[in-house]
Structure 1
Amino acid sequence: MTRIAVITGAGAGVGRAAAEQFARAGYDVALLSRDPDRLERAAQEARRHGVRALPIPTDVADFDAVAAAGDRIEAELGPIDVWVNVAFATVFAPVKHITAAEALRATQVTYLGQVHGMMVALKRMTPRNRGTIVNVGSALSYRSVPLQSVYCGAKSAIRGFTDSLRSELIHDKLDIHLCMVDLPAVNTPQFDWALNKLGFRAQPVPPIFQPEVPARAILFAAESRRREIWVGWPTVKAIWANRIAPAFADRYLAKHGYSSQMTDQKLKPDHKSNLWDAVPGDYGAHGRFDAKSRDRSVEMFTDRHRDAIYAGLALLGGAVLLHRLAKRFDI
């Protein structure tokens, strides 16, 4: 049976890597992003796996465009099984240097883009009473950092909207699965094309993961019944550290959160931003940090195989207990 997945932000970064993962797993894929040339290249990569790929240039901030894409997908590919919301836009700058228009636009893309995707997916999945929606969140939705206030605020809002929707699905007894996949720092092109007012080139805070790591987590989320998946130990650490000592995290980030997000390379005067329009170019899934990035996550492996690990630990514990009892009673 043919399975159909929709991925927003599929032209580059995590969305591009996710499109590859779903195609490799045998899904027909619908790819939504703004740059038509980059989207077509992503579709060509997916077709190499013998699946259908439908690129649809779409600005996810425009609800009517997302709804029209949903109509076209079901008309040309068939019923949507999985909808993955990845697309986002951000601003690297202190709040005092962000304009209201910039904050609005980044929020429309990052937050409302996912809301639009959820609404369009639900409209089609509800009558069939099946389907999966995967929202891509971030460790920064739990622990905000300086210089990324708009992004952190939008990701936090996505988490709030997702939790509300999940309760509604349970109330309505709908068999539609909703999952959030929270990411660590990832080596994507966003650090080259995000609106940057820092004066220096931006970088992800190490440790950095290759986009294939979250892409595998997204595919796993689509095929499991997990409520939430935290990708990478840094994500787990950031979330728990903020729960345990938020005031300490505030002070730590005030001291280290600026320098850790900037390289020592000055920003070029002709730096282009994708906030308002797509930046042309042959960008792919990876950014410029390949040499510093990890292609595996031990935490992600243990999360994917947690049932087997728990079972193994239980068997080990039972064996230790039996050994101790045997020694005690000289069996």
Structure 2
Amino acid sequence: MGRINNSVVPSDDEILSKRGYKLDRVLGEGSYSKVKSALWKKPGSNETLQVAIKIINRTTAPQDFIERFWPRERDLMEVLQHDNVIQMFDIFSEANKIYMSLERATHGDLLDYVQLKGRLGEQETHKYFSEMCNGIKYLHGLQIVHRDLKCENMLLTAQNSIKIADFGFARKMSKSEISKTFCGSAAYAAPEVLRGVPYEGTSSDIWSLGVILFIMACALMPFRDTSLSKILKDQKNTPNFPEKHKLNKRYCHLVTNILRYDLKKRFSLQDILHHDWLTTIYNKPRPDPSVSSTDSGIESDRSLS
């Protein structure tokens, strides 16, 4: 326990143990929040689940986060139920902190996976991207835009299935609405977001999916991210696919049409779902053409380090 203004403040372990949680190691940490792994014995059940506990410190979090972004994330997480979206189990506040219990994807995130393995084979890329699209179709069907899609927010379960996570920047937006909040990671952000002009949330999410699709098969960023001006310059051109990988032409066609600078020419989610590369069915395992991670880098400013 600690003391604030002569009052005894219970520790996270003490607060969570009363609700059946046993905290373990830290999975991630920011300036005003952290995520810890935990075991949770569900009330009225003998079942024990592996969960991730997100702990937000109200006293150090920005006011804008507490008043705008956090309420949105909370409200959205309470209704989300999909195989490819992280589920929330529990949420409560105590001692100036917010505690959120989330489904834990035990195999980490997609960025770590690609950095460890190198570029993914076509069949694996196809599987993960299909699952991402299923999750985004569900979200967009609820008029929810994520606005921070990136490899770090694509988590892998013990069964190696994709779970879309981190709804800190997500919000509900109707088709006629535009967003003026410029959030997310520059390397994954659509040109309109980087240019600082009001943008359509669903189309921005689609762009970010295209960046992730490129990364999975190439183990490189599609655009140089050393400066904003270089990213914007690169985004106006067709992505530069590494010739040595001999990528499927249908795959390259799909990526190229997702990463269209011109919004009018950029693929919609429906275009993606009906594209012949995505509708391909893999009936049996194929030889994995992936190369080792040591052969995955071409330009230092496009690497995944």
Question: TM-score range with shorter-chain normalisation?
Answer: under 0.3
Comparing both structures, which one devotes a greater share of its residues to helix? Answer: 1
Give the TM-score of the pair, scaled to structure 2.
0.28
Query: Normalising by the residue count of structure 1, what TM-score does the alignment of the two structures yield?
Result: 0.26
